[in-house]
Amino acid sequence: MNYKNITVAGSGVLGSQIAYQIAFKGFNVNVYDINDEVLGKAKDRISDLKQRYQEDLKATEEEVNSAFNRISFYSDLAKATAEADLVIEAIPEVVQIKTDFYKELGKVAPEKTIFASNSSTLLPSQFAEATGRPQKFLNLHFANEIWKNNTAEIMKHPGTDAKVFEDVIDFAKAIGMVALPLQKEQPGYILNSLLVPLLDAAQMLLLNEIADPETIDKTWMVATGAPMGPFAILDVVGITTAYNITLAKAEATGNPDYKKLADLLKSEYIDKGKLGRGTGEGFYKYPNPTFMNPDFIQA
Ligand code: NAD
């Protein structure tokens, strides 16, 4: 892997974080977005990350400033990618927007450039054709708060070149990620393939009045040694997100249990302002939730 110049397309929540993390690790970064107004907001968003790196990673002022100075901003895709070894796409999770973007990118980017999508739910084979270079395309999926939650799930599609896959794995390590390669396409990658069924099962136990959230979490924590249970995780995800996902599942599957669960999340939590960790209360009350008390798993 001899990548030096990285372009990040899309400068929203994840794009900003990806760009800053890569710059922090010493690479040159070009950020591309649709217009200068959006890019102005991105500059502020990225600048705000300096403080997080100082607080959470004990980075020095010089380190955070020089990272910021390694980033350039472009609203012209050809200019943004003229030197790119790798383009990481973090634009909206909308198939048509991504398809149009890859068609354009495939035309303007140099032949050597590798493309990687940060998509959470869409598979690389959906866009491989549009890129015009399927062998140089795969998914590279980061988590929110990338500097702390430093997973990089790297997922190839059947046409991805083996050397490209290996290079992107090496690149992920070079930017401080724990590289997690997926040898085949898998909706939800590894993490959500594990987490979603766990969270679903926990919520169904609650819906069916089998046990309360504390007992369910306690079971998981004592039995597996995990530091938090599914309801503590749901508080981090946010109850509104859990509600939206459940509602979408109710519509997609027609399973009435999902509708009942969505109603429960709304009436017992959302309508009462219990939105999760961010608002101070969800299934637990913060900043000192009962599951953090050492006695919680003792009896
Ligand atoms: P976001 O809405 O915060 O940002 C999207 C950015 O893309 C915006 O700045 C927008 O102006 C820009 N954009 C729109 N159309 C564009 C185009 N044609 N070309 C270039 N830029 C364009 O979205 P986000 O939450 O950062 O998500 C982006 C991608 O990252 C999605 O694929 C999502 O699945 C994935 N992702 C998000 C998270 C998360 O927690 N938010 C986590 C992992 C992966």
Would you list the domain boundaries of the chain? 5-182, 193-291
**Test site for ligand 1: of 13, 98, 115, 150, most ligand atoms within 8 A of the Cβ:** 13
Look at domain 5-182 and name its CATH class: alpha beta
Which pLDDT belongs to residue 147?
A: 97
SS3 annotation, the chain: CCCCEEEEECCCHHHHHHHHHHHHCCCEEEEECCCHHHHHHHHHHHHHHHHHHHHHHCCCHHHHHHHHHCEEEECCHHHHHCCCCEEEECCCCCHHHHHHHHHHHHHHCCCCCEEEECCCCCCHHHCHHHHCCHHHEEEEEECCCCCCCCEEEEECCCCCCHHHHHHHHHHHHHCCCEEEEECCCCCCCCHHHHHHHHHHHHHHHHHCCCCCHHHHHHHHHHHHCCCCCHHHHHHHHCHHHHHHHHHHHHHHHCCHHHHHHHHHHHHHCHHHCCCEHHHCECCCECCCCHHHCHHHHCC
CB 16 within 8 A of CB 49: yes
Tell me, yes or no, if 208 is annotated catalytic: no
Its CATH architecture, for the domain 193-291, is Orthogonal Bundle (1.10)
Tell me, yes or no, if 89 is annotated catalytic: no
**CA distance linking residue 256 with residue 254, whole number of Å:** 6
Profile the chain (299 residues) by mean pLDDT over runs of 10 residues: 97 96 98 98 97 97 98 98 98 96 98 97 97 98 96 98 98 98 97 95 98 98 97 95 93 95 97 94 97 92
What atom in ligand 1 is closest to the CA of residue 91?
Answer: 7
Which pLDDT belongs to residue 299?
A: 77
Q: Which of 11, 119, 141, 157 is catalytic?
A: 141
- Centre of ligand 1 from the C-alpha of residue 196, in Å: 22
Q: Which of 11, 30, 118, 120 is catalytic?
A: 120
Q: How many residues does the chain have?
A: 299
Q: Is the shortest distance between the CB of 120 and ligand 1 below 6 Å?
A: yes
Tell me, yes or no, if 141 is annotated catalytic: yes
Q: Is the shortest distance between the CB of 281 and ligand 1 below 6 Å?
A: no
**Test site for ligand 1: of 120, 153, 180, most ligand atoms within 8 A of the Cβ:** 120
5-9: strand order across its sheet:
71-74, 28-32, 5-9, 86-89, 114-117, 137-142, 151-155, 178-182
What atom in ligand 1 is closest to the CA of residue 14?
Answer: 26
Q: Is the shortest distance between the CB of 90 and ligand 1 below 6 Å?
A: yes
Tell me, yes or no, if 268 is annotated catalytic: no
What atom in ligand 1 is closest to the CA of residue 42?
Answer: 9
Nearest CA to ligand 1 atom 10: 10
Q: Which of 11, 16, 139, 153 is catalytic?
A: 153
Q: Is the shortest distance between the CB of 81 and ligand 1 below 6 Å?
A: no
**Test site for ligand 1: of 16, 91, 97, most ligand atoms within 8 A of the Cβ:** 91
Nearest CA to ligand 1 atom 3: 12
Which pLDDT belongs to residue 278?
A: 86
Q: Is the shortest distance between the CB of 33 and ligand 1 below 6 Å?
A: yes
